[in-house]
Structure 1
Amino acid sequence: MKVFEIFKSLQGEGAFQGTAAVFVRFAGCNLNCKWCDTPESRHGGTDMSHEEICGKIAELGCANICVTGGEPLIHLKALVPLLKRLYDDGYYVEIETNGTIDPSECFPYAAICMDVKCPSSGEHSDLSILAKLRPRDMVKFVVGDMTDLKYAQSIIESYDTAARLFITPVWGSDCHAIAEYILENRIPVTFQVQLHKVIDVK
């Protein structure tokens, strides 16, 4: 499996924001989002076996694992056995995905955080996946402007999902205006800023 990096940090977004986690960032992505914060991970990476990955995770000493990218689900066939091993070893695993690949094979072993691509990203997610998500899963809308925010609102109102919903402003956008719109329109989401950028960690 092509691994871009493995490191320990604080979870910047989602239900476990602020919690320590080991991030396993896989190389390669099937999208080219305009505001991607790790464009360097689209290429390169180092071939690592499951044994090597698990060894590095053990060295870092944290029970929470965030599998990210790039897009980790492009490695689905090799990823599922790794997830099972981590699950069997007692780790809590969350997968960050761009919502273009069905994550159902991962359900027994991991929670899913689906990043629904809004118009300013220049990309699209497969919205049919929303109906498959469970209460332990998350859906995140990273919004850069009011067009993105209204798009997120339309998806929330039109698609049923059991997952928790989050709206996160693109770093540097007008957080105040986004928060006010959420309140005024009673959008049932958790609003979050990108903690990892606030405190300047990975």
Structure 2
Amino acid sequence: MLRVNEIFHSIQGESTHAGRPCVFVRLTGCNLRCSWCDTAYAFHEGRTMSVDEVCEAVAGHECDLVELTGGEPLLQAAAIPLMEALLQRGHEVLLETGGSLSVDEVPTAVGRIIDVKCPGSGESDRNHWENLAALRAGDELKFVINDRADYEWARQVVRERDLGKRCPILFSGVHESLSATRLADWVLEDRLPVRVQLQLHKLLWPGVERGV
């Protein structure tokens, strides 16, 4: 069984899939408390559903792309069977994870979007660095940048680990703290092999916190 916070159909706002219609399955619970978290409502709220019930709810939206998000989806053991079931039903499946837990058991066909927590999150000591050694085709790494110090930290990680040659690297500014223009200027100045990412859903539906 799964504890599910919400299931909704929206436009994918982040990652290399930004702009695509997507069904989001937001699971309840998180082991992190990032300073800039915008989904704290998913820490505890939710309803109990079986894997089949979630799959049926997803099917009702008639959309190929599905993303498991949270919270932290990998806290729930049934997240793995859910991903397998969605794949068996013909969906393209993405997983967004906070990066503190191993992604080794995630099915190979799932696109893994793995956070690397910067110091400004307050959770950088929770990064499961072993995940970076197991990156594969279809994976993406996301750095949420709060300020210049976070940017310089992320820049060092990208360069020292030569991540630009491993998979797409996404730099996203904290919505209320760092303008996308300033972040873009820094990336251009340093010629970093990363993508500056906007949270498209926040531009499309400003002020709407849930269901987008």
TM-score, normalized by the shorter chain, greater than 0.5: yes
Inter-partner Cα distance in structure 2 for 1:107 and 1:60: 23
Q: Tell me which residue corresponds to 1:144.
A: 146
- Report the residue type matching 2:71 in the other structure: G
Q: Which runs of 4+ in 1 moved over 3 A?
A: none
Q: Tell me which residue corresponds to 1:103.
A: 103
Inter-partner Cα distance in structure 2 for 1:13 and 1:166: 9
1:189 to 194, 209, 212: 194
Q: Tell me which residue corresponds to 1:134.
A: 136
Q: Tell me which residue corresponds to 1:62.
A: 63
Inter-partner Cα distance in structure 2 for 1:48 and 1:109: 24
Classify the secondary structure of the residue corresponding to 1:167: strand
Percent identical residues: 39
Shift of 1:193: 1.1
- Report the residue type matching 1:53 in the other structure: V
Q: Residues 6 and 24 of structure 1 are in contact (CA less than 8 Å); yes or no, is this contact kept in structure 2?
A: yes
Q: Deviations over 1:117-145 (max 9, x none)?
A: 11111112222211211121100111111
Q: Are 1:119 and 2:124 an aligned pair?
A: no
* TM-score between both structures, scaled by the size of structure 2: 0.91
RMSD of aligned residue pairs (Cα, Å): 1.2
Shift of 1:87: 0.8
- Report the residue type matching 2:173 in the other structure: P
Q: Tell me which residue corresponds to 1:175.
A: 180
Q: Residues 99 and 114 of structure 1 are in contact (CA less than 8 Å); yes or no, is this contact kept in structure 2?
A: yes
Q: Deviations over 1:168-194 (max 9, x none)?
A: 111132222211110111110011111
Q: Residues 3 and 47 of structure 1 are in contact (CA less than 8 Å); yes or no, is this contact kept in structure 2?
A: yes
Inter-partner Cα distance in structure 2 for 1:109 and 1:74: 20
Shift of 1:84: 1.1
Inter-partner Cα distance in structure 2 for 1:41 and 1:18: 24
Q: Are 1:53 and 2:54 an aligned pair?
A: yes
Q: Residues 83 and 109 of structure 1 are in contact (CA less than 8 Å); yes or no, is this contact kept in structure 2?
A: no
- Report the residue type matching 1:78 in the other structure: A
Inter-partner Cα distance in structure 1 for 2:173 and 2:26: 22
Inter-partner Cα distance in structure 2 for 1:169 and 1:18: 18
Q: Tell me which residue corresponds to 1:156.
A: 158
Inter-partner Cα distance in structure 1 for 2:12 and 2:41: 20
Q: Tell me which residue corresponds to 1:17.
A: 18
